[in-house]
Structure 1
Amino acid sequence: MKKLSILPQLAVSASLVFAGFTVQADEVKGNAAAGNPKVWLCVGCHSIPDYRADYPFVYKVPMLGGQNAAYIASALAAYKKGERKHPTMRAIAGSLSDQDMADLGEYYAAQTASSPINPLK
């Protein structure tokens, strides 16, 4: 009986998996204009200077204007996956698609710390 090596099959399978990740990552490109109508989820906390949330603990809420787009998208993804634990952020991120996260990241990257507090005007 002829023995078949499983290594070539594993190599092909692994390359297809990694190719899929690359294609998926390339498909999601954020758009700042598309992020504008989505920031209503964020402005209630992240547009108030020196705002502190008190549930479940006292937490200084960061201003997001000028933040790196990829950082914002990855932070939202981490909340959605449960890797970051703040319950409010976890609930909000859970409602967002990868496209929403990328759009919000681009929107805030295009802002500055002194951008208007209400971006929907």
Structure 2
Amino acid sequence: MISMKKHLLLTQLALCAGFALASLSVQAADVQGSAKAGQGKVWLCVGCHAIPDYRADYPFVYKVPMIGGQNAAYIASALSAYKKGERKHPTMRAIAGSLSDQDMADIGEYYAAQTAATPPNPLK
């Protein structure tokens, strides 16, 4: 049987953990991306995502999507999912694993700003 002191201590620990997790999610939600800052962070992306009709062959053959014009929040969310292992692709997981939440938001904003009307851009 758990003593009253142990029960109180466990309750306090659970509350502290809950507050810590809530703080982390608020911080992640507060991150504002910058397309200008993102321009200097997409150099790894262009090796695959800037090549029209590019097909990767590792770990299997598939068509690599062009991500210019994609929604910024979607790109940041996808990168976060790769980093956490929720999306499965070894190369993307390795790249996303090296990115901070700010990097992901900046990259998302950079690609969201790219449209068909954007002047030719080798980083698109």
Long gaps (5+) in structure 2: none
- Number of the residue aligned with 1:93: 96
Deviation at 1:19, TM superposition (A): 3.9
Taking only the aligned residue pairs, the percentage that are identical comes to: 74
Alignment of 1:1-121 (within 5 A): 13=16, 16-17=19-20, 19-113=22-116, 115=118, 116-119=120-123
CA offset digits 1:32-51 (Å, max 9, x no partner) = 00000111111111011111
Verify the 8 A CA contact 1:49 1:63 in the aligned structure 2: yes
CA offset digits 1:71-110 (Å, max 9, x no partner) = 1001001111111111111111111111100100000011
Equivalent pairs counted in the alignment come to 119
Deviation at 1:55, TM superposition (A): 1.0
TM superposition score normalised by structure 1? 0.80
TM superposition score normalised by structure 2? 0.79
CA offset digits 1:20-42 (Å, max 9, x no partner) = 14531343111100000111111
Which range is displaced more, 18-27 or 49-58?
18-27
